[in-house]
Structure 1
Amino acid sequence: MLIQQQLTPSPISVTVDFAAPGVHHGFLRLPYSRDDAAWGSVMIPLTVVNNGEGPTALLTGANHGDEYEGPIALFDLAARIRTEEVSGRIIIVPAMNYPAFLAGTRTSPIDRGNLNRSFPGRPDGTVTQKIADYFQRVLLPMADIVLDFHSGGKTLDFLPYCAAHVLPDKRQEAQAFDLVRAFGAPWSVKMLEIDAVGMYDTAAEEMGKVFVTTELGGGGTASALTAGIAMRGLRNLLIASGVMKGEVDAQPTQWLDMPDDDCFTFAEDGGLITFLADLGDRVEKDQPIARIFPVSRTGLAPVIVTARRPGLFLARHFPGLVKPGDCVAVTADMVEL
């Protein structure tokens, strides 16, 4: 099946030349036959900038469609960038999962596909799988550096941070952490994933790419603060990686480590949640951090949720109602790197 998948060409076509000098705006066009357009297409905007020799940076946002700092920074960059600023090539895709981005949802409204759990994708699969396949087989192989913007979407809220993963290849890991430092978010994280199967991150790292990501706020919106962090950090990363000319606007950052699964606290009960600590607070192991009130009737005592390890309160559940199994809180260790 894998051999057949490799032989099957992607149905996605591109309206620009990846090798042409200068700044070029266009689309990834994915045929999509539907009720209101028998010969319709999903048109994913992209910009390609080429100027001489140098590395290739692949920049993406809206891997999840309800996360906005990335699209803001990348649409802004695409509108402003000039050829003479670049040394090498920049490929900008502000909204990877474009159907989800237009709908303001985490997953695609077409097939409910979570793009960041769909890699390596399939050229003959669903719309989301076809997008993943194109990135896997066409865009990622072109890249040296990959920056994929994330934030909390509608269901999580984060202290704004830039992150990379601990990797078996320590040279690759060190290059990624160097770019995290250059990005200059208020917080920088040695990242631990709780669900890494099918992720874009994993696909890029397994190809040996230098992969950097973010979590910049949440709640299904972007503030002036978080959008500003994204735009400044993007430029810093491109300069530090040698793809853009200029000087890094160095910013102080505090490093955090997520060493094990106890960083994550999950709800075992559903109901109305109220927090007893705020993001940025120091919490201790077994410290009460939230209460969950049953909502089926009045007079019932709330369930107390406690931290599974000490650390900095890094992320929390955002909506007022919580379901069993939802991630309620994330804690991380403050470290030096």
Structure 2
Amino acid sequence: MQMIPSPITATVDYAAPGVHHGFLRLPYSRDDAAWGSIMTPITVVNNGDGPTALLTGGNHGDEYEGPIALYDLAAKIRAEDVTGRIIIVPAMNYPAFGASTRTSPIDHGNLNRSFPGRPDGTVTQKIADYFQRVLLPMADVVLDFHSGGKTLDFLPYCAAHILPDKRQEEQSFDLVRAFGAPWSVKMLEIDAVGMYDTAAEDMGKVFVTTELGGGGTATASTANIAIRGLQNLLIAAGVMRGEVEAHPTRWLDMPDADCFTFAEDGGLITFLADLGDAVAKGQPIARIFTVTRTGLAPVTVTANRSGLFMARHFPGIVKPGDCVAVVGVEIEA
């Protein structure tokens, strides 16, 4: 069976030496442009025989620390600083990034649940397919920036996953340590099916991710963590010259599903603990008020395990099934 080629074309040469800025052009016929295209910015830097780092942000379009760090890097990087190849895509899901939404406004696709994608599928599936078949195979190291977007808020952390291949896992956590975020996490996913993370790890790539704040914005602090951590990771990975700027980090583990607490009721939420607080199993951490009438007692939400309050629902209104809290366990490095 003949493989369908990707409809996406790059306006940059991935093998050319030096610094090159361009686009990933995806044809997209629509009401206002019959022969239109989605133009996703990309920068490629080649110098030396070192490894290739694939750097991505905007996997979800309402998360900004990654795009800030990557647009910043693309604006100032010099070929002589590089000892391998760097591929920078500040906004993977460019339609979602342009709309400031988690998913694509075109097809409502969640790029981080769309892998391996399809070259003849929806716009989001076509983007996933290009990363799956073209960009990921080039990479040795993958850094995909995330934060909480409009619906979650996190302690700022860098993370990797526990993997069957312990050498791959160790290399990933070495780069988490080098990144130097205030917190470092052994991360557990609620659902890893279709994730960019899983696609990269299944190819044997060294994969690192982040959650750097949230609320659909970036602070000076979280943006600086992203910028500094990105440079540290590239130096530690042997892709850029320089010395890692060491920063203290505290480690959290997410050992099982008890880390997560989900709302069983909808309404107005008020938290009884803040991010960074120590909480005990069974401790009330939030209350949810029914908003359709007054005079009803709120529902109490409790922690499913003891540990450190590391993430929470951000908007004041929750729906049944929303993740309202994540509790991690602090561990030694």
Find the counterpart in structure 1 of residue 268 from structure 2. 272
Scaled by the length of structure 1, the TM-score of the pair is 0.98
Pick from 43, 46, 55: which aligns with 1:59? 55
- Residue 336 (structure 1) shift: 1.1
Consecutive unaligned residues in structure 1, runs of 5 or more: none
Pick from 117, 121, 130: which aligns with 1:134? 130
Q: Deviations over 1:177-207 (max 9, x none)?
A: 0000000000000000001110000000000
Find the counterpart in structure 1 of residue 221 from structure 2. 225
Pick from 166, 169, 175: which aligns with 2:171? 175
Q: Does 1:249 align with 2:253?
A: no
Task: Please give the residue correspondences for 1:139-288 in structure 2 after superposition, counting only pairs within 5 Å.
Answer: 139-288=135-284
Find the counterpart in structure 2 of residue 79 from structure 1. 75
Identity of aligned residues (%): 85
Find the counterpart in structure 2 of residue 90 from structure 1. 86
Whole-angstrom distance in 2 between the partners of 1:90 and 1:236 = 14
Find the counterpart in structure 2 of residue 325 from structure 1. 321
Find the counterpart in structure 2 of residue 35 from structure 1. 31
Find the counterpart in structure 2 of residue 70 from structure 1. 66
- Residue 220 (structure 1) shift: 0.1
- Residue 52 (structure 1) shift: 1.5
SS in 1 for 2:193: coil
Runs of at least 4 residues of structure 1 off by over 6 A?
none
Task: Please give the residue correspondences for 1:117-128 in structure 2 after superposition, counting only pairs within 5 Å.
Answer: 117-128=113-124
2:190 maps to a residue whose letter is I
Whole-angstrom distance in 2 between the partners of 1:195 and 1:268 = 19
- Residue 160 (structure 1) shift: 0.1
Q: Deviations over 1:141-198 (max 9, x none)?
A: 0000000000000000000000000000000000000000000000000000001110
Q: Deviations over 1:71-111 (max 9, x none)?
A: 00000000000000000100000000000000000000000
Find the counterpart in structure 2 of residue 296 from structure 1. 292
1:232 maps to a residue whose letter is R
Pick from 94, 97, 100: which aligns with 1:101? 97
Whole-angstrom distance in 2 between the partners of 1:119 and 1:91 = 19
Instruction: Name the Cα RMSD after superposition.
Output: 0.5
Whole-angstrom distance in 2 between the partners of 1:231 and 1:249 = 12
2:290 maps to a residue whose letter is P
Whole-angstrom distance in 2 between the partners of 1:174 and 1:272 = 42
Q: Does 1:47 align with 2:43?
A: yes
Whole-angstrom distance in 2 between the partners of 1:73 and 1:194 = 27
2:215 maps to a residue whose letter is G
SS in 2 for 1:42: strand
- Residue 130 (structure 1) shift: 0.1
Consecutive unaligned residues in structure 2, runs of 5 or more: none
Whole-angstrom distance in 2 between the partners of 1:53 and 1:119 = 30
Whole-angstrom distance in 1 between the partners of 2:262 and 2:151 = 13
Q: Does 1:336 align with 2:297?
A: no
Find the counterpart in structure 2 of residue 19 from structure 1. 15
Whole-angstrom distance in 1 between the partners of 2:271 and 2:312 = 9
Whole-angstrom distance in 2 between the partners of 1:165 and 1:138 = 23
Whole-angstrom distance in 1 between the partners of 2:263 and 2:37 = 41
Whole-angstrom distance in 2 between the partners of 1:319 and 1:231 = 27
2:11 maps to a residue whose letter is T
SS in 1 for 2:132: helix
- Residue 216 (structure 1) shift: 0.1
- Residue 114 (structure 1) shift: 0.0
